[in-house]
Amino acid sequence: MLIRFFRSGFFIQHFSIVVVALLLWFPVFVGQNKSIVFDGFHPFFDVFQPLFINQTKIGLVFLLLFFLVISFFFGRIVSEGGFQLRTGTHGMLLFVLMAGPFYLSTGFSPWLASLPFVLATMYHMLAFYNSKNLPFTVFYASFYSGLAVLFHLPNVLLFPVVFLSLIVARAHVFKLWIVPFGGFLAPFFFLSVYFFLTDTLLLQWEEFLMAAVGSSFSFQIVSVADVIQAAILIILTVVSFFWILGPSADNSIIMRKRTSILLFLFLALGPLHFLTQEARLGSGLMWIVPIIFVAGFFSHTKNIRWANIALLVLLLSAIGQQYIDYLWAY
């Protein structure tokens, strides 16, 4: 029932996803949320952080709206990329279930602030193969990856994926291999000019070096619900990946190219799970690629019964975890 319901994209489906987000977010809204100060080099994030530092109720509402807009954008990327039905909403739902608890429980963070630019980078990389103006598409992808770095330094791992995507797209023109450097460095150039005019260039450069050298891998013990969600999504990802490679899926050249780009992207986003102040939060980025594969599987699978069970367990574990954490805190 759930699988078929979210194969459409009418108002009722989007409204249902908003309700799910509200259920996930409600314990955060009524609970006592502590303010978190994020250290490190993220100059663009520092501009907006004071607006959310006190975790006011109005700030949480804007945070939720911001996350829902990102979720809708993610769903459109999955649809336009051809991984789910054009009218499907599985991608948006899965993103809310898997990424929502990580981001909403912490408030405004560098990972959440950089997420629109991470997704914009992915969106343009998936368009490399059939782009009518490839140099501009490459520039946009690298430019957004540069912006993502200025919100969260470990996002620099996205930049090599731009070149790997060019290899997948078989871009043989030498100019295309120069364009990414211009796009990626453009935000840094304008930011450096601003720091120079305000006489803070050397200070910011020292902070950048300290953040780059001081980056370390970390890991935190997760809850039982996290383990259940991760296990189910991993199993679904493996099943979905083999389904994508099988005869039932769209085996056109463009879909094979996009699948290869997503695999490279997963290799870049995976380590971001451990390059955070709280490793659990980075999971929101780590699940982006698996969610796309699973959304495609849910959109086309004929084994509706097992798919419904898996989606229901994901739904209940995500919502249940939020309320268990809330009750445990009190």
Q: Cβ(84)–Cβ(295) under 8 Å?
A: yes
Gap between the Cα atoms of 321 and 330, Å rounded: 14
Gap between the Cα atoms of 224 and 7, Å rounded: 30
With a CB cutoff of 8 Å and minimum separation 6, the contacts of 208 are 41, 153
Higher pLDDT, 70 or 88: 70
Per-residue pLDDT at 142 exceeds 90: yes
Gap between the Cα atoms of 71 and 229, Å rounded: 19
- Model confidence pTM above 0.85: yes
pLDDT tens digits along 32-80? 665 566 767 788 888 877 776 666 677 778 888 888 999 999 999 999 8
- CA-closest candidate to residue 151, choices 102, 116, 193: 116
Mean pLDDT of the chain: 81
**Predicted confidence band of residue 279 (pLDDT cuts 50, 70, 90):** very low
Both tokens of 144, joined, read 């957004």
Q: Give the mean pLDDT of 117-121.
A: 94
**Predicted confidence band of residue 164 (pLDDT cuts 50, 70, 90):** very high
Both tokens of 48, joined, read 């907006």
Provide the percentage of residues in the chain whose pLDDT is more than 70: 80
pLDDT tens digits along 183-202? 999 999 998 888 888 888 88
Higher pLDDT, 97 or 181: 181
Which pLDDT score is estimated for 196?
85
Which pLDDT score is estimated for 195?
86
**Predicted confidence band of residue 280 (pLDDT cuts 50, 70, 90):** very low
Q: Give the mean pLDDT of 273-300.
A: 69
- CA-closest candidate to residue 17, choices 77, 71, 76: 71
Per-residue pLDDT at 119 exceeds 80: yes
**Predicted confidence band of residue 162 (pLDDT cuts 50, 70, 90):** very high
**Predicted confidence band of residue 319 (pLDDT cuts 50, 70, 90):** confident
- Secondary structure (H, E, C), 165-201: HHHHCCCCCCHHHHHHHHHHHHHHHHHHHHHHHCCCH
With a CB cutoff of 8 Å and minimum separation 6, the contacts of 294 are 90, 94, 233, 236, 237, 240
Provide the percentage of residues in the chain whose pLDDT is more than 90: 22
pLDDT tens digits along 194-250? 888 888 888 777 777 776 665 554 545 455 656 666 677 778 778 777 777 776 666
Both tokens of 190, joined, read 């304008």
- CA-closest candidate to residue 93, choices 171, 23, 31: 23
- Provide the terminal-to-terminal Cα distance of the chain, rounded to the nearest Å: 36
How is 30-85 classified by DSSP, letter by letter? Answer: HS-PPP-PPPSS-HHHHHHHHHHTT--HHHHHHHHHHHHHHHHHHHHHHHHTTSS-
